[in-house]
Chain A
């Protein structure tokens, strides 16, 4: 099953579902024929696409819109906030190449404030699957929901057999006493490697794949906080407004504190290049993540294996 097959099947079963794109057809290339007028390409017009999606939703449709994450969340932000957010219409945003997945494009294309922007819209839900399997598991629930939704599209092959998706629930991969990694999206793959490297070095390591940033699985995160381990937030996002901020908000609201190490992009865009180069340069390979956590734990002994081999992104415009 691919994204395209899933959306095709869903559209055949539910006539409300429409596929829209601002000329970003990478994931939906074969659908114009089968869907006919229910496939709408507006050209390179993110704002008009979102406005038209709102109009279609007003008429009872569930438009799934496709474009690059950065142009949707930045250029069309006001249209999402005003035309989708205010009336709380069920427009489903499939945001392509978010975060590090925009590897070689450069800062113009880096959606690394998208979580911050989207979660700031009242009623908007925000999802970031770990890989394709995780994404396909959550999409039926996202598309069936009456809420507007923002999805960080991630078609990377799974390196982990995921648990079934449940709305608002994180996937608890492991529980740990020394350190717990909280992450979302494509960096799950690297944090899984980091967890194994740290475990091999003798640490008790927890790992949460958050899946949904809004709604947040507050119970699961608070459970980690109460466990007292070092908490590491790992995200391909600006440090401001993403998971680190979400955690800080949760801690304050519950009058709690914790030892937290944020691994994020602090006041900077990332160095563009092949995905392996980006992760190596920015310190987000499994090995780098393990080392950075080890440093924080005062570990001067372990090297955490050899350089992590990163599967490159399949380029799709």
Chain B
């Protein structure tokens, strides 16, 4: 495992991404009522999704059927508010569609599905998309295409043996266009990972399964850029990026809390949480109208 040390992203760009991530987090908070959603797990990977869709991946509303686009598979599907919040901000879907959350007139529910443009595959049952992404990566390689195939898993999701099985097969077939990204927020549904099924030392586990691994701060846009722009890490191995993150990131009142995986707040609580969210970043952000692309 190598620790990335060279950060080159400008502070202006970091501010742009922070502004976008703040708007995505506001969507997450607003979805955490009237039935609720997986708030804590969504907040932990908001920065990761924002970085990937706004800055790194060659995928945008105009190329969703291009076979040479980059693919992102969200295997930890319960963080759909972060994904849809990102999609809404980047024009994949109209923002108004988020108001249809849990309504039968649309398909905006607790797990991703392909009725939302940009969702490559439905998910929610954990441990599935590493193998689905492997199939896509194998096909891309067969066709001589060079796009990135990225699959984001949770850390609790790594309890599922099929994550490791898929990596074993990817390593055997030297699939170096596949990258597994772990949202390492240190919690599974109800309990800290290390208190239930300890994962550490995690990087050596992935290395032992044949991957080339980097471990970074998943909330640091410069670190994200340094890691992702270095892909593939190897000519012969799949890549793994472990993103250390904080469950509930952006809302200190719910950060690192085992009981804030799924949240269903009252309307008043949402108002308070939005204030809390914006107070965190207020000093560094100047405009809600900043665009990233």
A residues with CB within 8 A of B: 37-38, 40, 42-43, 45, 47-61, 63, 78-79, 82-83, 86-87
Residues of the B chain whose Cβ atoms lie less than 8 Å from the Cβ of A59: 67, 135-136, 139-140
Q: Is B136 in contact with A51, judged by CB distance below 8 angstroms?
A: no
List 9 A–B pairs whose Cβ atoms lie within 8 Å, in order of A's numbering.
A43-B169, A45-B166, A48-B134, A48-B165, A54-B131, A56-B135, A56-B138, A59-B67, A82-B122
Is A87 within 8 A of B131, CB to CB? Answer: no
Chain A residues, CB < 8 A from B138: 37, 40, 52, 55-56
User: Is B275 interfacial (CB-CB < 8 Å)?
Assistant: no
Across-interface contacts of B165 in A (CB, < 8 A): 45, 47-48
Main secondary structure of the interface of B (DSSP, over half): helix
The listed residue with most B CB atoms (<10 A of its CB), out of A52, A63, A87, is: A52
Q: How long is the Cα–Cα vector from A45 to B135 in the complex, in angstroms?
A: 13
Say whether B162 contacts A37, CB under 8 Å.
no
Shortest A92–chain B CB gap in Å is: 14
Asked whether B125 lies within 8 Å of A45 as measured between CB atoms, the reply is: no
Closest to B163 in A: A48
**With contact pairs A43-B168, A83-B128, A87-B121 given, residues A48 and B136 touching in the complex (Cβ less than 8 Å):** no
Chain A residue contacts of B67, Cβ below 8 A: 59-60
Residue B133 CB within 8 A of the other chain:
yes
CA A250 to CA B122, docked complex, whole Å: 33
Chain A residues near B169: list those with CB within 8 A: 42-43, 45, 48, 52
Task: Provide the residues of chain B in CB contact with A43, threshold 8 Å.
Answer: 168-169, 172
Residues of A within 8 A of B136 (CB): 55-56, 58-59
Which secondary structure dominates chain A's binding surface? helix
| A38 contacts across to B, CB distance below 8 A | 142
- B173 CB → nearest A CB, Å: 8
- B172 contacts which chain A residues (CB < 8 A)? 43
Chain B residues with Cβ under 8 A from A47's Cβ?
A: 131, 162, 165
The proximity string for B residues 150-184 relative to A, scoring 1 for CB distances below 8 Å and 0 otherwise, is: 00000000000010011011001100000000000
Collect the chain B residues with CB atoms within 8 Å of residue A79's CB. 128, 131, 162
Shortest Cβ gap from A50 to chain B (Å)? 7
Whether the pair B132, A54 counts as a contact (CB closer than 8 A) is yes
A52 to B213, CA, bound (A): 22
In the complex, A60 Cα to B136 Cα: how many Å?
10
Interface residue? B114 (CB, 8 A): yes
Q: Is B130 an interface residue (CB 8 A)?
A: yes
- List A contacts of B125 (CB < 8 A): 78, 82
* B162 contact set on A, CB distance < 8 A: 47-48, 51, 79
Please report the C-alpha to C-alpha distance between residue A115 and residue B247 in the assembled complex, in whole angstroms.
Answer: 44
Give A59's nearest chain B residue, CB to CB: B139
Report yes or no: B122 in contact with A55, Cβ–Cβ below 8 A: no
**Within 8 Å CB of A52, what residues of B?**
131-132, 134-135, 138, 166, 169
Are B131 and A50 in contact, CB atoms less than 8 angstroms apart? yes
Which residues B96-125 have CB closer than 8 A to chain A?
114, 120-122, 125
